[in-house]
Structure 1
Amino acid sequence: MNDPRGAAVLEVTGWPTIYDITDDWLQADRTAAERARLQYHESVLLEGSARIVVCSHALERSKDRPGRTVLIPNAVDPVPYRSPSPRPTDLPNGATAVYAGTVHSDRFDVPLAVTTARELSNRGTLTLVGPNLLSHSDRSRLEDAGAVLLGSKPAKAVPGYLQHADVLVVPHLVNAFTDSLDPIKVYEYAATGRPVISTNVAGFRDAGDDRVTIADGRRFAEAVADAIPARWIFPERSDRPVPSWDDRAREMAEVLSAVARSPYSLQKGS
């Protein structure tokens, strides 16, 4: 299970279950009624699952159930990100500051992105690559500031946008919800070797990577503008080790095997 609503299946069947937590939705901005439903569903999964797999240290601390919680961080398939791709035809001309990922108000700091797009002005274009889940008004604010929203792209096309960016950006909110995450873009960005400007969010602030600059508020927008044009051209600095999904698959296979050997039913202690 990944969606907490899957708790209903566990309640009905009692089947051995793995609860895979990638986001702490209890920390997201939700209505009181929705949060109450989430709390109930999660309590069922936390107490009834044979194993609880989390992707971040913050989740490991907050969702720990002794003997059943396993930390398996995210990763990347490095080969596509390190194999040169042609410049995407819809990438804006000139210098670009690229964000790759779902543009969602739970994570994405719209006012900061607006400020950044304006700061770039004639020096470059803030370009957002990924599903757009913003309100119409937020999208209009970004476009009026000069940002370009390219929308969803096939997974195989994403590396080309990162490779041809002058700088990669992470204008994320800093709050309890984002602190629970292990952003996959940490690994995708690292695989390409491009310079990165990020707010002080989990994953990037802990990366220990000299290619990453942490900045907040007005300094974030200024740091993005200062990084254009980039000093580094792909594939420079893209040869550093990064965790692979092959490694994570082996770790998850071990969890599956453990659950298969020792089923754990909804009735605790059985």
Structure 2
Amino acid sequence: MAHDLIVFGEDWGAHPSSSQHLVSHMAKEREVVWVNSIGLRKLSLSMGDATRAVRKLGAAFRRKAPAPRVAAPGPVVQPLALPMAESRMGRAVNRALIGGKVRMAAAGLKRPVVWAALPSAVAALGALGEHGVVYYCGDDFSALSGVDHAAAQRMEAELVSRADLILAASEMLASRFPAHKTRLLPHGVDAALFGTPVPRPADMPEGGPVAGFYGSLAPWIDLDLVAATARLLPEWRFVMIGAAQTDLSAIEGIGNVHRLGARPHAALPGYAQHWDAGIIPFRDTPQIRACNPLKLREYLASGRPVVSTDFPALNGYRHLIQVAQTPEGFAAALCASLTDTDGPGRQAAVAAQSWAARAAEAAAWIDAL
């Protein structure tokens, strides 16, 4: 019998996370209540944090939430909670605030299991009438940028002890948890979305080969590497798609670097299919060593060549990717990609790794609890 799900994840529709992909498929056979994020961020006086706080407060008190850009698999709950509350009183307040609101939305669920994609979900455990707890670990919260690491680690340790099943997105993450209840669940890919030909976007730069990246322009992106490579290859166009989440001065003022801003997920195949090579210029950090980026399989599903810095999640795909660490190496790999014709091989390598297949694995483990 399928367990219904109470999912604690990031804000629904904010970006197409692995939890959203997986739960969307599992929702075809079970009811789902989605609980928007309970913060893990360090509190600051920044305008971004203030705006986020006002938005969440407004959503928590709004009688009816606005329709998300992507249809949710069930009711979406915006909890009102004290961020990173660890005191006995703070935890009691959050347990009451979150539990009451979620129980109302989940009143009709059958044998619900909590899917906790954020350690902060531990605040509500035991107050929801859950039949089990799954910790879905897709990131290294002890190293994730912008997170209160010490508090996140304490919450994660408690969540791990209370979880009946732990699903880890990478081998490095899986190695940190008790083996008897941990399963490796690598990310999947929408191979049909990224492999079905679509027109070239009108804002794709002309006048030379294009190297492209999409994703958050965050501290773990090596913008110095991008800048130096762009200067070595003035005939290339470097397209950077994504919201700015760090200082971008390293790439500002370079004529062949084009920032296009964020784009909807459904629009990304048009870029990935029509640039000459996709790039993954990650810095070497603990967070990156533990990551399993969605864009890796999406780039491969598009069929275009991929040039990347080195990190463990490339294992299994290294024969399809050119790995470089220096601007000179990146430039040489990009030039070599212009004669690369193994698009079918890249697409074949990820064809069977669909989100539907990954969700079926997760569902089987959950329903066996």
Please, which of 28, 37, 60 is the counterpart of residue 151 of structure 2?
37
Q: Deviations over 1:64-84 (max 9, x none)?
A: 213211111001111121111
SS of 1:97's partner is strand
Q: Summarize the Cα distance change of 1:210–1:193 in structure 2 as closer, same or farther, 3 Å threshold.
A: farther
Q: How does 1:193-232 map to 2 (within 5 A)?
A: 193-204=303-314, 206-227=315-336, 230-232=338-340
Q: How does 1:19-168 map to 2 (within 5 A)?
A: 19-28=135-144, 34-62=148-176, 64-93=177-206, 94-105=208-219, 107-121=220-234, 123-134=235-246, 138-146=247-255, 147-168=257-278
Instruction: State the shift of 1:173 in Å.
Output: 0.8
Instruction: State the shift of 1:141 in Å.
Output: 2.6
Residue identity opposite 1:55 in structure 2:
A
Instruction: State the shift of 1:236 in Å.
Output: 5.2
Residue identity opposite 2:118 in structure 1:
D
SS of 1:200's partner is coil
SS of 1:194's partner is coil
Q: Is the 8 A contact 1:98 1:127 kept in 2?
A: yes
SS of 1:76's partner is coil
Q: Summarize the Cα distance change of 1:224–1:11 in structure 2 as closer, same or farther, 3 Å threshold.
A: farther
Give the stretch that moved more between structures: 147-156 or 161-170: 147-156
Q: Is the 8 A contact 2:238 2:258 kept in 1?
A: yes
Residue identity opposite 1:133 in structure 2:
Q
SS of 2:230's partner is helix
- The match for 1:6 is 121
Gaps of 5+ in 2: 1-115
SS of 1:157's partner is helix
Instruction: State the shift of 1:239 in Å.
Output: 4.2
- The match for 1:190 is 300
Q: Sequence identity, in percent? A: 29
Q: Greater Rg, structure 1 or structure 2?
A: 2
- The match for 1:262 is none
Q: Summarize the Cα distance change of 1:191–1:43 in structure 2 as closer, same or farther, 3 Å threshold.
A: same
In the alignment, the residues of structure 2 paired with residue 5 and residue 223 of structure 1 have an alpha-carbon distance, to the nearest angstrom, of: 44
Instruction: State the shift of 1:131 in Å.
Output: 2.7
Higher relative contact order (Cα pairs below 8 Å, separated by 6+ residues): 1
SS of 1:150's partner is strand
In the alignment, the residues of structure 1 paired with residue 325 and residue 343 of structure 2 have an alpha-carbon distance, to the nearest angstrom, of: 28
- In the alignment, structure 1 residue 170 sits paired with structure 2 residue 280: yes
Q: Is the 8 A contact 2:300 2:347 kept in 1?
A: no
Q: Is the 8 A contact 1:167 1:227 kept in 2?
A: no
SS of 2:135's partner is strand
Give the stretch that moved more between structures: 13-22 or 64-73: 13-22
Q: Deviations over 1:120-161 (max 9, x none)?
A: 21x111111223222xxx323313223212122111111110
Q: Is the 8 A contact 1:169 1:224 kept in 2?
A: no
Q: Is the 8 A contact 2:212 2:239 kept in 1?
A: yes
Residue identity opposite 1:143 in structure 2:
E
Residue identity opposite 1:178 in structure 2:
I
Q: TM-score, normalised by structure 1?
A: 0.84
- The match for 1:263 is none
Q: Is the 8 A contact 2:226 2:327 kept in 1?
A: no
Q: TM-score, normalised by structure 2?
A: 0.63
Which aligned runs of 4 or more in structure 1 are off by greater than 6 angstroms? none
Q: Is the 8 A contact 1:192 1:237 kept in 2?
A: no
In the alignment, the residues of structure 2 paired with residue 222 and residue 124 of structure 1 have an alpha-carbon distance, to the nearest angstrom, of: 10
